Chain A
Amino acid sequence: MEQDWIWGLVGGLLIGTGGAVYLLGNGRIMGASGIIGGLVDGSGRSTAVERIVFLVGVALLPILLMPIYREVDTHLTTNPAVLVAAGLLVGIGTRIANGCTSGHGVCGISRLSLRGIVATAFYIGAGGLTVVIFRHLLGVI
């Protein structure tokens, strides 16, 4: 769609405002993998409620917006092997690197963190290479 970039910009501003609220309000970096991972491995037990409430907000708002907003198809692959491999890689990778698209990408780049910029360069590079290999060479995705 032609207006996709406008919705992208509007959505991006909302995401960044969410990050600003989390930072200025709670003094925390809004990184999805860190917030989830801290619950899973127990490292964030002392702030568990705030993490869960955050994630409820993330999952709930799309439900509320659905009646007034366009299509909701995620076009996600139905190949279970790809889904499991991708999930494992994302889970392990983000925790070893200590961040994902929101933490290293949005929050890191916006404070000109060298770690955030380098991490973003590597996950985008690896992601691009993976799509090229698995889509154009192997035809799996």
Chain B
Amino acid sequence: MRNFLAFIAGGLFGAGLFVSGMTDTTKVQGWLDIFGNWDPTLAFVMGGAIIPMAIAWRLTQNRTPIAGGSFPTPPEPKLGRNLVLGSVLFGMGWGLAGLCPGPSIAALSYGGWGNILFVAAMLVGMLGAPAVRTQLDRLSAPA
């Protein structure tokens, strides 16, 4: 059941990324490029995605997940340095290539070697991230 639902969710995610044009890096960089030929598509994608999700969050109240277990706990209101620094690093990479993790997987079959190189580098980055985080924590720890 869990795996079936995960496949359906992934399929909807992949289909949505594909038809929305979010695997086209010119649309993503076009949205980020406010001084160029600005492309508003990404805002519609975000807005469209938030509607069903907002309904889903409301439906989690007084319920449990269909496949069992429990819903995620409410997010901590804590805004740490890691959240800001990590988001800035992510944004830089996102702007450079016009790709973020979801679309890079959706485009695996048609994005060519460049997309595969990006995904390989992303996996290496993800593998190294815990070590980077440990270093960051060490730097901020009181001496």
Interface residues, chain A, CB within 8 Å of chain B?
Answer: 4-30, 32-33, 36-37, 40-41, 49-51, 53-63, 65-66, 69, 72-78, 80, 82-98, 100-102, 104-111, 113-116, 118-120, 122-132, 134-136, 141
Contact = CB atoms under 8 A, between A and B. Distances in A.
Contacts, number: 483
Given A22-B9, A62-B15, A104-B87, A32 B114 contact: no
Interface of B: 1-3, 5-27, 29, 32-36, 39-57, 59-60, 63-72, 75-79, 82-102, 104-112, 114-115, 117-130, 132-133, 136
Contacts of A88: 93, 121-122, 124-125
Given A54-B7, A123-B94, A93 B89 contact: yes
B17 A62 contact: yes
Contact of B26 (A25, A75, A80): A75
The 3 closest A-B pairs by CB, nearest first: A91-B125, A12-B48, A11-B20
24 contacts: A10-B20, A12-B44, A12-B51, A16-B49, A19-B52, A23-B71, A26-B65, A30-B13, A57-B7, A57-B12, A59-B109, A63-B109, A74-B24, A76-B25, A87-B118, A91-B123, A94-B100, A95-B125, A97-B89, A101-B100, A115-B76, A123-B88, A124-B32, A129-B91
A61 B117 CA distance: 21
A11 B122 contact: no
Q: Which of B52, B86, B96, B118 counts the most chain A CB atoms within 10 A?
A: B96
A83 B105 CA distance: 15
A62 to B, nearest CB: 4
B5 A26 contact: yes
Nearest to A25: B5
B29 A96 contact: no
A97 B53 contact: no
Contacts of A36: 101, 105, 122-123, 126
Given A27-B67, A50-B6, A75 B124 contact: no
A60 B6 CA distance: 13
A129 B11 CA distance: 32
A123 B88 CA distance: 5
B52 A16 contact: yes
Nearest to A29: B72
A98 to B, nearest CB: 7
Contact of B41 (A4, A61, A75, A101): A4
A42 B68 CA distance: 23
B92 A127 contact: yes
